[in-house]
Amino acid sequence: MEFLWLLLPVAAFSGWWVADRSAGRRSRPGAKGSLSADYFKGINYLLNEQPDKAIDVFIKVLEVDQNTAETHLALGNLYRRRGEVDRAIRIHQNLLARVGAGDTQRFEALLELAQDHLSAGLLDRAEGLFRELVEGGHYKVQALRQLVDIYEQEKDWDKAISASRRLTAETGLQLAPIIAHYRCEKAEQAKRADALDQAMSEIQKALRADPDCIRALLLEGDIYVMEADFARAATVFKQLVKKDPDYLPEVVERLRVCHRATGISAALIPYFSALLEQHGGITVTLNLVELIQHESGIEEAIRFITEHLQKRPTVRGFDRLLDLEKELEDRPAPSYLGIFKELTTQLIEERAIYRCDHCGYSAKSLHWKCPGCKNWNTIKPIQGVQDE
């Protein structure tokens, strides 16, 4: 950042010198000396560690024309990087007021001013400027990207879909998986409002955009559960497992709910056993433990989970084993089990369950859009001793 400040006097002097040369004989007597004095005054402010005052002086030194517009753009951009968005806006607005309607610098200034408003959180103003650039055919791809981001922040999913389609037409980018998430957002809004038909309509549109959209399948199955159509819900959840086993932990408990409602929970034991053999995972194991305990008793459940932990120890598995040992009625639980139980409970409560494959962001709940890197569909359940 200190290096950038050293560039300010160079930029200011270069802009003044070009403007002064272009003015030629039209400059009034003494003007050059006045500008030089202002320039060295700005240098003095820099030497005295007063960069704000120095910048104000350098702005006065620069005359806005086609030769110095780039310097104004750079200066405004520097302000924005420093977080002084109000000053950046003032510089870019001043530039817009002085350049001609057809000048290239005008569109650059529009882009910079839109980014200023975006940085300041003035989404409506930023949207208007980006739309002006898109409609005018200038910086179209960059403006469309920013519009998509704005619509996501505003949760205006219809506009986000429209802008994403235009961006696809301009760049050829495959944005169908992201558009599917926008449809899922609309489906979740309808679901919360108990408009299940509308929600299902959006889910089908999401699956047409991206047939492998895991989120859409989860929503579809959940709506079937809400409608008490447990057989269809189970079919959808099993389809999801085939498409992406990484999301198996999100499905296992849902499947148990479906089979419990239909009274055929025991039928899940061979299915879960096959999943465990093929994909592993403590969530499947723990649900198998519950089924085995219900069908064959606590001793058999303890035997099963003990064998599993010998092959692949996990904190969640050990925690469940401690619970089972405490439930035994024919022998008292050793006192140290309570200490172990307290430790495992604390480890489970403090751990993150999900992690972004792109940036490593960790969370305790599933985010379809990573709060860290802002990518869609990159967060999945964590694998490891404390997790799956």
- Per-residue model confidence as pLDDT tens digits over 39-70: 566 667 656 666 667 666 666 655 555 556 67
Residue 321 in tokens: 């084993």
Residue 183 in tokens: 């449809």
Whole-model pTM: value is 0.77
DSSP 213: -
* Phi, psi angle pair for 172, to nearest 5°: 80, 5
* Nearest residue to 385 (alpha-carbon basis) of 313, 321, 319: 313
User: In this predicted model, what pLDDT tens digit does every residue of 71-102 receive, in sequence order?
Assistant: 777 777 877 888 888 888 888 887 777 766 56
Which CATH number is correct for 174-263, 3.40.120.10, 1.25.40.10, 3.40.1180.10, 3.40.50.300? 1.25.40.10
* % of the chain with per-residue pLDDT over 90: 47
CB 191 within 8 A of CB 199: yes
Write the CA distances from 275 to 234, 285, 310, integer angstroms. 15, 9, 19
Burial class (CB in 10 A: 0-12, 13-18, 19+), 34: exposed
Residue 10 has pLDDT above 60, yes or no: no
Helices vs strands, H then E, count in the chain:
19, 3
Q: DSSP labels for 333-358? A: PPTHHHHHHHHHHHHHHHS--EEETT
* Nearest residue to 165 (alpha-carbon basis) of 106, 205, 212: 205
CATH of segment(s) 2-154 = 1.25.40.10
Residue 358 in tokens: 């792109």
Residue 252 in tokens: 């296992």
Q: Where are the beta strands (DSSP E) in the chain?
A: 354-356, 362-363, 379-381
User: In this predicted model, what pLDDT tens digit does every residue of 229-281 receive, in sequence order?
Assistant: 999 999 999 999 999 998 999 999 999 999 888 877 778 899 999 999 888 88
Please count the other Cβ atoms lying within 10 Å of the Cβ belonging to residue 307. Answer: 9
Listing from the earlier edge strand, what are the strands of the sheet with 379-381? 362-363, 354-356, 379-381
